[in-house]
Structure 1
Amino acid sequence: MEAYVLDWVNLLLRWAHVIVAIAWIGSSFYFVFLDNSLTKPADPDLKAKGVDGELWAVHGGGFYHPQKYMVAPKAIPENLHWFYWESYSTWLTGFALFTVLYLYQAGTFLIDRNVHAWSPAAAIAAALGFLVVFWIVYDGICRFFGQREGGDRIVGIGVTVAVVLASWLACQFFAGRAAFLLVGAMMATSMSANVFFWIIPGQRTVIAQMKAGQPVDPVHGQRAKQRSVHNTYFTLPVLIAMLSNHYGFLYGAPHNWLVLVLIMLAGALIRHSFVARHKALVQGQPVPWLYAGVGTAVIVGLIVWLAPAPVPKAAAAAPVSFAQVQAVVAQRCAMCHNEQVISKNIQLHTPELIAKNAQALYQQAVVLKAMPMNNATQITDAERGLLGRWFEAGAPLN
């Protein structure tokens, strides 16, 4: 019953997390597009009001005319919308999901004793430490170098090095699936911390200065803009790190830390291409698709690198008996899928049940390589291939 309840909690938290994450990422993408698509106003009245950029857009049968004031408008509007609950809700639901799935079940999900044998308590403390320490390192890099000449480049290099080092460390200590997700979680934590510690406080300071009749210090807007730009570059790497836990061929690969770094790099390059595209279109320049091309090339390179070795013709042609399949399932799968332990509502302790769940067995153990969890039973690629050939031959019981 506990496993059943946890499955429901997992489902509902994941659903809520995806919903609020869509809202946050959508608003982030929109405002990056907006900032890079604004044009200087030609209307003298808009210039007199302090409008620095405007955009005309059509959507849903109506015309929209967003305007941006450099630093702040002369008076605070009565109806002012704040964009922060999208971020906070995404982090809260994500951390709750991480707690239910990975921290509460650390012995199963965080720890792979073939990678590093330690206690669940130590693994939990280290996982939480990743979230905190990365934020401290990232924030420190931004504080010390962000306002210097050429600071954006230095910050970019420093943050990249920090992400690469964290990816390597995570894959040395945690199960591959957990390591990938943990790297995504630490970056997502920094994204939300940017909103909580810098972006929103900076905006509140600007409003307080306006209400007090004081000159508005532009540094608050500059800092908020810097962190907002970082957030948009983190987005695609975070998404692929989060999605990777469904694809064992990624986190189970040799040198999996490098796989993670490269696929996140591809996401960042593709995202940069779209950011640069917005500016290029406004300025009438060619669209810089080179970055997206390089990112795509990195993904193609990963596809080639991670491709499974071809099965020898003799092995591929050899018929697979059900006795062979049953022996593999009994040794590698049945300890978690039997009459006493019915994990994920799947049982594999009889020939009839193996045949009934052949599709799920093929998908999870052969295609996705997600099972056994963290390869706890040490199933081999040859055994996965054997299960695959049996299923593709029609899953016969003889």
Structure 2
Amino acid sequence: MDIYLLDWANLLLRWLHVITVIAWIGASFYFVWLDNHLTKPQAEDLKAKGVDGELWAVHGGGFYNPQKYMVAPANLPQDLHWFYWESYWTWMSGFALFIVLYLCNAGQMLIDPRVFAWGAAWQAVAAALVFLVMGTVVYEAACHTLGRTADGGVGNDGRVLAAVAVFVVAASWLACHLFAGRAAFLIVGATLATMMTGNVAHWIIPGQKKVIAQMRAGQKPDPVYGQRGKQRSVHNTWFGLPVLIAMLSNHYGMLYQHAQNWIVLCVLMAAGVAVRVFFVKRHKGVNSWGAVALALALLAGLIVWMAPRPQASGAVAPVTLDQVQAVAGQRCLACHAGELAQKGVRLDNAEALVAHKAQIYQQVIVQRAMPLNNATGMTDEERALVGRWAQQ
């Protein structure tokens, strides 16, 4: 695809993806908050209608009174609003972006020969897709074996989430040993996101439709559908922040280029879970400061552990701009020369190198994100030389 059109596809798909993520995660957070703030109705007419919880709220100059029925109202209205397209479009736009950026450009974005030498690009593409499928397979197996009671009801969520945590750690390790670091982070996040959308598409929405069909047929709704839908919705609550940090962190080379990048990813996702624990408990009126302390401790430990170590100083000759231009000519100009330079960053002349000195230092030395997946084979000695020049 022409680089100009590819940039437009990247921008528009990313924009769509961010919009739908905001809508989906926002709705998910709101309903968890709502569930935790509902109070038992006091009015007899609400009790008679089967209302199990209600809330009074004010927003935007108006008053709202949402009410929740334990299974369903006695008289089901014809006009019902469904919350599922936010989830579906989030996954579809994300997968489309994954295809455009990674699968169609596997040789550059998915494969890093320093990590694993794939025989062909299609093999890496197939393996990436297997991750998405296997995540759902493992998760569903955990829900069916660990998350249900003998009579088919909802069982112990703690065991299911523990099994998912073990899988995520294993998947992070494997992905970071098979794919380029940036791609590995994204694949792990997309695997969790696929579980989340699967919950909406195969359990939450179908369960609600079965309840509605039973009611319209004059039958008593089976509460198990609501219980299972609620279970999967709660799971999605815990998955949300780990997915977001996995997606955001793959934009920071210092994270995915680390020698133990799979540990970095796991710690970041664990911090996300701890943050979510705090907010869920806060909605119930409990300030879980231990969860906040845990999140901060995980992040602080990660920052200290990953901090660059000071290099031994010694008498070295100053680096000339000609030396840097020679390195840039070999390692950078494939993507950063001429009018079509990536991100508009041209490094094909002395003035441009000096103008972008700070960016070069950040991307090449600190984050080691460039060259992308070190496709042009920049050596550590060349990085050190560029680093000295940038700090002169």
Bin the TM-score by the shorter chain.
Answer: over 0.9
Deviations 1:276-307 (A, max 9, x none): 1111x1xxxx4112112101210111000111
Partner of 2:10: 10
Partner of 2:54: 54
1:152 matches 2:153: no
Provide the rounded CA distance (Å) in 2 between the counterparts of 1:232 and 1:318: 56
What are the equivalent positions in structure 2 for 1:83-102 lying under 5 Å apart? 83-102=83-102
Provide the rounded CA distance (Å) in 1 between the counterparts of 2:138 and 2:219: 34
1:161 matches 2:166: yes
Partner of 1:37: 37
Deviation at 1:139, TM superposition (A): 1.0
What are the equivalent positions in structure 2 for 1:242-321 lying under 5 Å apart? 242-279=247-284, 281=285, 286-314=286-314, 319-321=318-320
Provide the rounded CA distance (Å) in 2 between the counterparts of 1:186 and 1:205: 28
1:113 matches 2:143: no
3-state secondary structure, aligned to 1:68: strand
In structure 2, list runs of 5 or more residues that go unmatched.
none
Provide the rounded CA distance (Å) in 1 between the counterparts of 2:383 and 2:332: 12
Structure 2 length normalisation: TM-score? 0.93
3-state secondary structure, aligned to 1:183: helix
Q: Is the 8 A contact 1:240 1:264 kept in 2?
A: yes
Count of matched residue positions in the alignment of Structure 1 and Structure 2 = 387
Provide the rounded CA distance (Å) in 2 between the counterparts of 1:385 and 1:243: 28
1:371 matches 2:370: yes
Q: In structure 2, what residue type is equivalent to 1:258?
A: I
Q: In structure 2, what residue type is equivalent to 1:353?
A: A
Partner of 2:70: 70
Partner of 1:396: none
Q: Is the 8 A contact 1:335 1:341 kept in 2?
A: no
In structure 1, list runs of 5 or more residues that go unmatched.
394-398
3-state secondary structure, aligned to 1:105: helix
3-state secondary structure, aligned to 2:250: helix
3-state secondary structure, aligned to 2:259: coil
3-state secondary structure, aligned to 1:112: coil
Partner of 1:134: 135
Deviation at 1:38, TM superposition (A): 1.0
Aligned sequence identity (%):
60
Provide the rounded CA distance (Å) in 1 between the counterparts of 2:247 and 2:241: 10
Partner of 2:219: 214
Per mean C-alpha deviation after superposition, the further-off stretch among 141-150 and 301-310 is 141-150
Deviation at 1:327, TM superposition (A): 3.5
Which residue of the other structure, out of 229, 234, 242, is the alignment partner of 1:237? 242
Q: In structure 1, what residue type is equivalent to 2:137?
A: I
Q: In structure 1, what residue type is equivalent to 2:93?
A: T
Deviations 1:236-287 (A, max 9, x none): 11011111121001000011111111110110111111111111x1xxxx41
Q: In structure 1, what residue type is equivalent to 2:147?
A: G
Q: Is the 8 A contact 2:257 2:367 kept in 1?
A: no
Provide the rounded CA distance (Å) in 2 between the counterparts of 1:90 and 1:236: 15
What are the equivalent positions in structure 2 for 1:336-355 lying under 5 Å apart? 336-339=335-338, 342-355=341-354
Deviations 1:30-61 (A, max 9, x none): 00111111111111111111111111111111
Per mean C-alpha deviation after superposition, the further-off stretch among 34-43 and 23-32 is 34-43
Q: In structure 1, what residue type is equivalent to 2:346?
A: Q
Q: In structure 2, what residue type is equivalent to 1:145?
A: L
Partner of 2:200: 195
Q: Is the 8 A contact 1:246 1:368 kept in 2?
A: no
Partner of 2:332: 333
Structure 1 length normalisation: TM-score? 0.92
Provide the rounded CA distance (Å) in 2 between the counterparts of 1:129 and 1:344: 32
Q: Is the 8 A contact 2:57 2:63 kept in 1?
A: yes
Q: In structure 2, what residue type is equivalent to 1:214?
A: Q
CA RMSD of aligned residues (A): 2.1
Q: In structure 2, what residue type is equivalent to 1:225?
A: K
Deviations 1:76-109 (A, max 9, x none): 1232100000001101100000000000000000
3-state secondary structure, aligned to 2:42: coil
Per mean C-alpha deviation after superposition, the further-off stretch among 267-276 and 368-377 is 368-377
